[in-house]
Amino acid sequence: MAQTTVKEIIKEEPSFTRLTDLAAERLGGKVLYATDDFFAEKENLIKPGRGIFISDKYTDRGKWMDGWESRRKRTPGHDWAVIQLAASGSIKGFDIDTNFFLGNHPPFASVEAAVLSDTHTITDWDSADIAWKEILPKSALDPGSRNFFDCPNPERFTHLRLHIYPDGGVARFRVYGEVVKDWNKVSPNEEIDLAAAIHGGQAIACNDMFFSSMGNLIMPGRGVNMGDGWETKRNRTPGNRDWVILRLAHPGSIRRIVVDTCHFKGNYPDRCSIEVCNSRNDQDVLKGDVSWRSILPESKLAAHHEHEFKAEITDTSPCTHVRLNIFPDGGVSRLRLYGFKSV
């Protein structure tokens, strides 16, 4: 196995958790295989949240657990699962969460990665024909904890193999990184959501996300409930403006905007506006060393509604970053920025 340098396990939530969870089920990730999921299904690994515990809930196989749990191994070896990332990407870190797994967590875990183009014909995930590369060496896990591992890797991967030693349960497996999309395959004439997380868009800053995360804005589909959006706290300051900044997946020209307040009924923003800028990096944007220009003037919003703006767009020149302003506060479920990539 290739030698990998990994920093000591981090006990506080690290900065890489603000990146995209490349394995998330809601983004399109899949758990393709597990050596054993006798007690709890492998698919739970990539579901939202940290998992729940219901004290008196049992199945015909034993205690119900919200995670992936294998039976107690009585033979040599260990258990592992194969995860297909929602989009190919470069990995920055992991969260191997053993929430509620206390007397049944695995003491150690490791992670391998590979680039696979077609998995439909694979019948043996342990075959020597698959070029698995170790990117997280065997590392200790704490019970009932989010186990963070800083593991930056510049390579592009499509699939991961999570090993647990020798057996036990993991509630969730988060794979934080950046989407690597082949933009050469996207025609300059193809309309695409330039902000979508699945294409590489990223929410990089906001002034408030008291109730729910800014990253929800660019997830696929419509929000499933009020928690699946970006919502700020109530602000009583006259003339208040809340804002969120997105880095587009690729520089481009925005031609159609959708602001969706799905599920936000008594707490939707009264109005919104959108500004854009051009910058080579996020740091200049975050420091304010950029010139913002308006592309959507203040526009009225309604409760629980998809608002489409097209004729209202005042500037279609290429940009790299977008700032959504809401007045005075509230919640937005999704923001879609359809347009064309810059050549």
Report the CATH architecture of 15-179: Sandwich (2.60)
What does the block give as tokens for 98? 């053993």
| Helices of type H across the chain | 282-287
pLDDT, one tens digit for every residue, the chain (343 residues): 344 444 445 557 899 999 999 999 999 999 999 999 999 999 999 999 999 999 999 999 999 999 999 999 999 999 999 999 999 999 999 999 999 999 999 999 999 999 999 898 899 999 999 999 999 999 999 999 999 999 999 999 999 999 999 999 999 999 999 999 999 999 999 999 999 999 999 999 999 999 999 999 999 999 999 999 999 999 999 999 999 999 999 999 999 999 999 999 999 999 999 999 999 999 999 999 999 999 999 999 999 999 999 999 999 999 999 999 999 999 999 999 999 999 8
| CA–CA dist 35, 163 (Å, integer) | 10
Residue 11: what pLDDT? Answer: 58
- Asked if the bond preceding 166 is cis, omega within 30° of 0, the reply is yes
* CB-based contact 23:160 (threshold 8 Å): yes
Report the CATH architecture of 183-341: Sandwich (2.60)
What does the block give as tokens for 142? 């704490």
Residue 337: what pLDDT? Answer: 98
Residue 26: what pLDDT? Answer: 96
Q: Which of 68, 36, 71, 31 is nearest to 161 (CA)?
A: 31
What does the block give as tokens for 247? 């880095």
Beta-bridge partners for 237: none
Amino acid residing at 212? S
| CA–CA dist 197, 217 (Å, integer) | 9
Residue 134's contacts (CB-CB under 8 Å, 6 or more residues apart) are 1, 2, 4, 110, 111, 112
Handedness of CA 59, 62, 66, 68 (dihedral sign): negative
| CA–CA dist 329, 185 (Å, integer) | 39
Write the burial class of residue 50 (CB in 10 Å: 0-12 exposed, 13-18 middle, 19+ buried).
Answer: middle
Residue 343: what pLDDT? Answer: 85
| CA–CA dist 302, 266 (Å, integer) | 10
How many CA atoms lie less than 13 Å away from 330 in the CB half-sphere? 26
pTM for the model stands at 0.92
| CA–CA dist 132, 151 (Å, integer) | 16
Residue 7: what pLDDT? Answer: 43
How many CA atoms lie less than 13 Å away from 139 in the CB half-sphere? 25
What does the block give as tokens for 79? 């258990």
- What is the domain partition of the chain in residue ranges? 15-179, 183-341
| CA–CA dist 28, 98 (Å, integer) | 22
| CA–CA dist 173, 49 (Å, integer) | 11
Beta-bridge partners for 146: 97
Question: Do 15-179 and 183-341 come out as alike in CATH topology?
Answer: yes
What does the block give as tokens for 216? 């929800």
Rg (CA), the chain: 22
